[in-house]
C-alpha cells in the first residue's frame, strides 16, 4: 500500500473560506461584511455544491446509471460543475446553454469534455430550460436530467453546507444574509438553515431590477420561469439591482482588494452596501458565487473582446 493518502477533486467541494470585505468600511465602520469565497470550489463556483449533491443522490436512487447522459439547462456555472463531476466520475455530459454565455464558460465546459447545445440567446435561461425539456422528452431513457430548478437536492446542499458553514464561521454572530436569485438554491437553502439557528437573522434576496439585464446567473423572477424550489417567503426583503452599479462594485472589489468576482457577486455587494448604510451596525454575510476570470470577455472589467 502506498503511504501517501490523497483526495479526489470532488472531495474539495465546500468548506470555502469566509473573506472580510473592506470596500465599504469607510462609510459603514460599524458593519462587518464577509463573503463566502465560492470561486474557491474546484469547479470555480457555488454550483459545485448542488451539482454534486444532485448527481450523487441520483446515483444512490438508481436514477443515474453509467449508460445515461447527464443533461440540464444552465447559464454556465452549473454546467461547468456537471462537466467537471462527469469527467471525474466517468459520465457523458450534454448541456443546453443560452447562446450568449461568456466565451470562458463555453471553453471551460469544452475543456472537461462535455457536449453543448446552444439555445436562442434572446430567450435567456428560460429558452435553455425549454430546449432541454424538449430534448429529454424525445428520448427520456437516454438522459438523466438533474433539473436544478426543481430538485430539492439543490437547496439542501446549501442547507447542509453553505448555511451551516456561515453560522460556524461567524460563531453565530451573523445578523444579515444576502444572496442572489438564479435557481434560488443558495438563498433558499442557506436562509432556511440560518433562520432555524436564529430566527432573528434577516435574509435578503437579490435579483436584477428589470427583465433585460447583464447579470449572468441571476433571474428577474417576475418575468421568468420561476424555479420550483424558490420560496419567496424566506426573504425578509428582496432587492432589485441595476447592471451598471453591479459591474462597478465588482471592479472596485478587484482593484481595491484583489478579489475577482463575477456579475452576480457585484449585484449582491451592491445590495450589501445599501443594507450596511441603513443598519449602521451588524454582521452581513454574502456569497461570491463565482470568479471574475470567467467574465473577462464580457466587458465586466472595462474591456471587451471583439
Cell reading at 182: 438564479
End-to-end alpha carbon distance in the chain = 54
If one counts every other C-beta atom within 10 angstroms of the C-beta of residue 169, the result is 17
Catalytic choice (45, 47, 219, 265): 47
If one counts every other C-beta atom within 10 angstroms of the C-beta of residue 166, the result is 24
Concerning whether 264 is annotated as a catalytic residue, the answer is: yes
DSSP 90: T
Concerning whether 47 is annotated as a catalytic residue, the answer is: yes
In the numeric block, the cell 433558499 is attached to 188
- Contact indicator for 151, 144 with CB cutoff of 8 Å: no
- Dihedral sign (CA 135, 125, 216, 232): negative
Q: What is the per-residue DSSP string for 178-189? A: EEE-SSSHHHHH
Catalytic choice (45, 125, 264, 265): 264
Please identify every residue annotated as catalytic. Answer: 47, 264
Amino acid at each position: 500500500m502506498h503511504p501517501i493518502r490523497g483526495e479526489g477533486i470532488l472531495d474539495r467541494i465546500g468548506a470555502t473560506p469566509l473573506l472580510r470585505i473592506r470596500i465599504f468600511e469607510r462609510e459603514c465602520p460599524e458593519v462587518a461584511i464577509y463573503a463566502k469565497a465560492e470561486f474557491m470550489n474546484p469547479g470555480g463556483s457555488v454550483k459545485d455544491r448542488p451539482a454534486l449533491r444532485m448527481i450523487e443522490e441520483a446515483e444512490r436512487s438508481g436514477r443515474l446509471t453509467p449508460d445515461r447522459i447527464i443533461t440540464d439547462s444552465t447559464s454556465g456555472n452549473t454546467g461547468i460543475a456537471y462537466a467537471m463531476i462527469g469527467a471525474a466520475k466517468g459520465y457523458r455530459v450534454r448541456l443546453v446553454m443560452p447562446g450568449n454565455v461568456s466565451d470562458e464558460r463555453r471553453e471551460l465546459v469544452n475543456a472537461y469534455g462535455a457536449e453543448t447545445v446552444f439555445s436562442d440567446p434572446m430567450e435567456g435561461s428560460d429558452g435553455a430550460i425549454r430546449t432541454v425539456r424538449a430534448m429529454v422528452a424525445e428520448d427520456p431513457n437516454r438522459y438523466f436530467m438533474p433539473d436544478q430548478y426543481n430538485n430539492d437536492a439543490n437547496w439542501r446542499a446549501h442547507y447542509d453546507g453553505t448555511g451551516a458553514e456561515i453560522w460556524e464561521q461567524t460563531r453565530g454572530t451573523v445578523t444579515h444574509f444576502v444572496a442572489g436569485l438564479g435557481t434560488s438554491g443558495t438563498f433558499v437553502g442557506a436562509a432556511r438553515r440560518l433562520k432555524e439557528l436564529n430566527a432573528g437573522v434577516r435574509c435578503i434576496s437579490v435579483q436584477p431590477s428589470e427583465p433585460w439585464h447583464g447579470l449572468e446567473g441571476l433571474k428577474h423572477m417576475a418575468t421568468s420561469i420561476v424555479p420550483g424550489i424558490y420560496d419567496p417567503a424566506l426573504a425578509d426583503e428582496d432587492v432589485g439591482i441595476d447592471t451598471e452599479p453591479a459591474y462597478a462594485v465588482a471592479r472596485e472589489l478587484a482593484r481595491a482588494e484583489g478579489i475577482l468576482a463575477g456579475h452576480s457577486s457585484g449585484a449582491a455587494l451592491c445590495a450589501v452596501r445599501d443594507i450596511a448604510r441603513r443598519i449602521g451596525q451588524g454582521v452581513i454575510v454574502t456569497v461570491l458565487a463565482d470568479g471574475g476570470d470567467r467574465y473577462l470577455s464580457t466587458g465586466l472589467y472595462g474591456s471587451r473582446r471583439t
